[in-house]
Structure 1
Amino acid sequence: MTGPTIAVDGTPLSRPMDGIGRWSANVLRETALARPDWRFVVLGFTDDRARPYLLPDLPNVERVLLPVPRRAYQAVYSLVARVPVDRLVPRVDALVSTNYTAFPALRVPSVVTVFDLAYVDLPDVIEKRNLAYLRKHVPRSMREAAAITTISPFTAARIDAEFPGHAPVHLVDCGLDPAFLAPLTAGPALPSGYVLAVGTLEPRKNLVTLLRAWSRVDPALRRAHPLVIVGRAGWGSRDLPGDVPADVLAEVSFTGYVEDADLPAVYAGATLFAFPSLYEGFGLPLLEAMASGVPAVVSDIPPFREIGAGLVDYVDPLDPRAFAEAISVRLTRAGDDRAAQARTRAREWTWERSGRQMAETIEGVLA
């Protein structure tokens, strides 16, 4: 290989059930495919040896474990000083860190990905420990990064407003998993005609509004179209609304985590997709629902407008009554040709394009 060597922060790649981890793995794979003469060194720590990594099986991608424990280095980095680890890694030309901050510390130009600014705009939905970390390190990364990438025009505009004088911001899109374009395979057993919600169960996903809305839907509709919520438990996930009747909550199916390979069948089996999230940098579940031809009722927030255009229904995420009405109308309305248009639109987002965008961003930094 005659091209540059690019260090990659392996932290998100060690979280296989994490949305940032999946984005990072897909972008790394497609960037490495787009630049086969480049070498990509994914940096981990000595205690990551047994940890599963979302590492693409490509000849120009390898993992290097630093001879220090992850937790110890993270504590020093966060609480004391950003100790550079240049001497512990092969010579590299740039660092790509897809987790908000330039981590680990290296004396090379950095490309930092910021997915959203929820910690600025809606701090109450961020776990306190993570909030303190982001407040401390993101502003410094924005000042020092050679380039910044993000996943939506909305977040790019927020970065411009919040961090004047920062390095150039480049869009590196999310992509649709090719599995959503392939023939369906059998998925988990679920009730017929269900309304689907997908996402980690945490305050930002606004499960409270969805359940309050669901309690307002006509019982006959609820019986005909039961609510299925797919997602692993996150922080604050036990805070179910006390004003929703227990018998309504008992009707809701919480599946927990569902394997990626089963998700296309889960979406395809739904009659309606509901996404009441308070804040997103992008909104991949909406893209997946659109690709599956499933009508959607979603929060009226900028990233969802960017994805869905006029092909889905938008509702105030803080208004359970409006959400209930929109869900009820969709469940009782005869066909809607927007779903077919939405399926076509969703196919515009590909990981191949994302890889090209990241490769071009890195090239700009190297130049």
Structure 2
Amino acid sequence: MISREFLLDVSRLVWRNWSHRLATGIDRVCYAYLRNFGPRSQAVVQYRGVARILTERHSDELFETLLEPDEVFRRRLSLLAPRALAASARAVDGRGTFYINVGHTDIDLSRLLGWTRRSRVNPIYLIHDLIPLTHSEFCRSEAIERHRGRVVNALFSAAGVIANSRATAAELELYGRSHGIPLPPITSAWLAGARLAQDDVVPLKSGRHFVCVGTIEGRKNHFMLLQVWQRLVERLGPAAPKLVLIGQKGAEAAHVESMLERGRGMSDHVVILSHCPDEELGRWIRTARALLLPSFAEGFGLPVIEAMELGTPVIASDLPCFREIGVGIPTLLDPLDAVAWERTILSFLDLCPERARQLRMLKEYSAPTWGGHFAQVESWLEELRTVRRPFMFHPGPDRRSTPVVVRRDGAERHAPDRLQTSRPER
């Protein structure tokens, strides 16, 4: 049944296209992996850990359909799904085929891990961040438990784990060591941003506006930005710059809307764009005085890459991932220091020395590419073909599973009870 080099899990993209949700950063990564690995892969689709492998022909049809506009996708999927599922397989002998899952899809479920073990496939997972574990105050309890399951299961069961940055890789390694989990091979490979710099796109007229890109939720620290803008409006009146918030509203967006309603004059200076196509996004970023990212935690930060590629200065939180991918260009500030943010934003309205420094450095900036990412990942995968981990994950009855280390001699031992610890020791 498995006749191609890879198995590619596209369950997340099927859900995204069907639900008409705007693509998130993780979705963009899934699309990039689809374009790179699709021609050499068979599709895996799953629901709650029950996985099916599509035939070559049906895989190609699904991959092509996933790249269609959403309205076309629904129609084509409705015609494809009955045929594809009827001809699909559950039980296979993968004989070491790489199973690639870069969307975090159901890695926390023991049922999926049991399938990878029985099917003798080598799972490759991409972990985008550990935010629900390192900054649980910004996440719902269910999200924390699910992500703990993803991280623990991935570390125990994967033939290899891809991290989007050295910062994420370091957090993964720390978590594994502090919980007594034998670490799989881990590689860090930078992601590439969306193609926003299109020659045929006429930019907006450069003005006095700043842009903040990302889901509107507590972790992104929009509330602090709005406090800064309230003071700027009170201080400058009609001359205050415009703040453009680009992103879908998350579970904690109510406080942003409430502040906009209460703040005097705020509605004239703050705009929320919940639906912003890439062409329009590129225009807003390219003509902004700076991109603002005051997040409390990030795993990578695609908007930083995208803004710098467009030649736009960046003011961001002083986080390990921003220090890494920013390569010394962005102005980094404490996300709690609202005074420093206000002072810096005011200075960027003019050609201050710090903004001039960024503009000079941006002329020589070379953004990461998907070509570079996949060259690194595929070279690493070739190395992994000769490496066999001496343990696997034995699925248990619950979501967290029952970790069991399987030695080369076939004997089993249960993993340490410390796996139930809620947070890694810092």
* Structure-2-length-normalised TM-score: 0.70
Asked whether the equivalents of residues 31 and 359 of structure 1 are also in contact (C-alpha less than 8 Å), the reply is no
Shift of 1:249: 3.3
The letter of the residue matching 1:202 is: E
Asked whether the equivalents of residues 290 and 348 of structure 2 are also in contact (C-alpha less than 8 Å), the reply is yes
Shift of 1:247: 1.6
Asked whether the equivalents of residues 219 and 296 of structure 2 are also in contact (C-alpha less than 8 Å), the reply is yes
C-alpha spacing 1:366/1:261, structure 2 compared with 1 (3 Å): farther
Match for residue 314 of structure 2?
296
C-alpha spacing 1:325/1:262, structure 2 compared with 1 (3 Å): same
Q: Quote the Cα distance in structure 1 between the aligned partners of 2:379 and 2:81.
A: 24
Asked whether the equivalents of residues 167 and 321 of structure 2 are also in contact (C-alpha less than 8 Å), the reply is yes
- State yes or no: 1:87 paired with 2:104: no
C-alpha spacing 1:52/1:327, structure 2 compared with 1 (3 Å): farther
Match for residue 360 of structure 1?
379
Match of 2:41 among 35, 39, 42: 39
Match for residue 185 of structure 1?
201
Once structures 1 and 2 are overlaid, which stretch shifts more, 102-111 or 17-26?
A: 102-111
Match for residue 80 of structure 1?
none
Shift of 1:192: 3.5
Match for residue 243 of structure 2?
227
C-alpha spacing 1:158/1:362, structure 2 compared with 1 (3 Å): same
Shift of 1:330: 1.6
Asked whether the equivalents of residues 305 and 367 of structure 2 are also in contact (C-alpha less than 8 Å), the reply is no
Match for residue 222 of structure 2?
207
The letter of the residue matching 2:174 is: A
Q: Secondary structure at the match of 1:137?
A: helix
Q: Quote the Cα distance in structure 2 between the aligned partners of 1:214 and 1:224.
A: 8
Match of 2:364 among 304, 329, 344: 344
Q: Secondary structure at the match of 2:255?
A: coil
Match for residue 9 of structure 2?
9
Structure 1 segments (4+ residues) deviating >6 Å: 51-54, 63-66, 88-92, 241-244
Q: Secondary structure at the match of 1:333?
A: coil
Shift of 1:56: 5.4
CA deviation profile, 1:204-259 (whole Å, cap 9, x unmatched): 11111111122233642773521111111112111228678522432311111211
Q: CA RMSD in A?
A: 3.5
C-alpha spacing 1:255/1:318, structure 2 compared with 1 (3 Å): same
Shift of 1:341: 1.9
Match for residue 262 of structure 1?
280
Match for residue 138 of structure 1?
151
Q: Quote the Cα distance in structure 1 between the aligned partners of 2:238 and 2:314.
A: 17
Match for residue 74 of structure 1?
none
Match for residue 197 of structure 1?
212
- State yes or no: 1:30 paired with 2:24: no
The letter of the residue matching 1:310 is: G
Q: Quote the Cα distance in structure 1 between the aligned partners of 2:238 and 2:176.
A: 46
Q: Is there any run of 5+ residues in structure 1 with no aligned partner, and where?
A: 58-62, 69-84
- State yes or no: 1:271 paired with 2:301: no
Match of 2:340 among 309, 313, 322: 322
Q: Quote the Cα distance in structure 2 between the aligned partners of 1:19 and 1:53.
A: 21
- Aligned residue pairs, count: 337
- State yes or no: 1:120 paired with 2:133: yes
CA deviation profile, 1:22-52 (whole Å, cap 9, x unmatched): 11211332345xxx6x334242569xx9x99
- State yes or no: 1:21 paired with 2:27: yes
Match for residue 116 of structure 2?
106
Q: Quote the Cα distance in structure 2 between the aligned partners of 1:113 and 1:174.
A: 11
The letter of the residue matching 2:375 is: R
The letter of the residue matching 2:139 is: I
- State yes or no: 1:239 paired with 2:245: no
The letter of the residue matching 1:115 is: H
C-alpha spacing 1:318/1:159, structure 2 compared with 1 (3 Å): same
CA deviation profile, 1:117-164 (whole Å, cap 9, x unmatched): 111110121233322211233212211111000100101111111112
Asked whether the equivalents of residues 110 and 146 of structure 1 are also in contact (C-alpha less than 8 Å), the reply is yes
Q: Secondary structure at the match of 1:235?
A: coil
C-alpha spacing 1:338/1:279, structure 2 compared with 1 (3 Å): same
Match for residue 170 of structure 1?
187
The structure with the larger Rg is 2
* Structure-1-length-normalised TM-score: 0.80
Q: Secondary structure at the match of 1:210?
A: helix
Q: Secondary structure at the match of 1:262?
A: helix
Q: Is there any run of 5+ residues in structure 2 with no aligned partner, and where?
A: 17-21, 51-57, 69-79, 387-426
CA deviation profile, 1:183-212 (whole Å, cap 9, x unmatched): 15147x799321111111111111111111
The letter of the residue matching 2:208 is: G
The letter of the residue matching 1:7 is: L
C-alpha spacing 1:53/1:210, structure 2 compared with 1 (3 Å): farther
Q: Quote the Cα distance in structure 2 between the aligned partners of 1:224 and 1:191.
A: 15
